[in-house]
Amino acid sequence: MKKLFAIFGDPVSHSKSPLMHNCVFKNLNYNACYTRIHLKDGSKLKEVFFSLGLSGANVTVPHKEAAYMACDEVRGFGKKVGVVNTLINENGRLIGYNTDADGFMFAIKEFKEIKNILVIGAGGTSKALVSRFLEDNIKVTVLNRSEKRLSYFKTLKCTCHTWDDFKVQKYDLVVNTTSAGLKDENLPAPKNMIEEILNNTSFVADAIYGKMTPFLELTKKKNIIFKDGADMLLGQGVLANELFVNHKLNTHDIQKYMQKSFEL
């Protein structure tokens, strides 16, 4: 019987996940297909997941924290951060994982020595990345528009600022985890602040992929080496696919066909 997988998000029409996973399933003769589900209300995630008879799913913004709440059990890194981006149907129980953080580490490994990171945004992706950076003893500063969402980060050993009290330092890497620029032309913080931040960093990464965001446009103008979210997407996608197929496919083969899907 063919297995069905999907990605939940709002928006979700831009997602390359169906292309990536279907490329793997088709080329490695795995009897499955993968689709998109536009979900407005994150609290309905579990209900929709089981009503469609899904074997597994990925979750993108803004539902990663709702996905954590929906799970019967969360394993590994997702349990630590309270954020889930991969779901597995295990005998009628919803099991959650987080493959975002290790996917991001895969994406930035060519930047070499990263000791000091500024993370813009305080949502689910930020929680996962900041916790993962701290595991590697990287110094982390979190910048968010409002104070409210910073409470989680204050329990960790990282510096937290709102736009009102932020003073720019020198950074090895600046990461945008907000959705600014995904379906608008916004920057993740006021322009003068972003300009000053970019003048004080060696590398830049944006979790958004498939679009040259205004943030990356500005980065490019300043001749700073940057990455969009494509490598992060690839890294987390390989790890998610391993969970989908219960490690029955070769990791190198999964990566090869996922990379190939980016050329389609």
Q: Which one of 64, 109, 127, 227 is the catalytic residue?
A: 64
Please give the structure tokens belonging to residue 247.
């490690």
Please give the structure tokens belonging to residue 80.
């630590």
Please give the structure tokens belonging to residue 224.
């700073």
Walk across the sheet containing 86-90 and list its strands: 32-38, 3-9, 56-59, 86-90, 93-97, 73-74
Residue 138: other Cβ atoms inside 10 A: 16
Please give the structure tokens belonging to residue 199.
């003048």
List Cα–Cα distances, 131 to 2, 141, 149, 249, in angstroms: 37, 12, 15, 29
CB 142 within 8 A of CB 153: yes
Separation CA 175–CA 194 (nearest Å): 12
Please give the structure tokens belonging to residue 258.
């996922």
Name the strand (E) or helix (H) holding 161: strand 159-162
Q: Assess whether 64 carries a catalytic annotation.
A: yes
Q: Give the contacts of 172 (CB within 8 A, at least 6 positions apart).
A: 111, 113, 114, 115, 116, 117, 201, 202, 203
What is the three-class DSSP state of 17?
Answer: helix
List Cα–Cα distances, 127 to 15, 109, 123, 171, 188, in angstroms: 21, 20, 6, 19, 17
Q: What residues are labeled active site?
A: 64
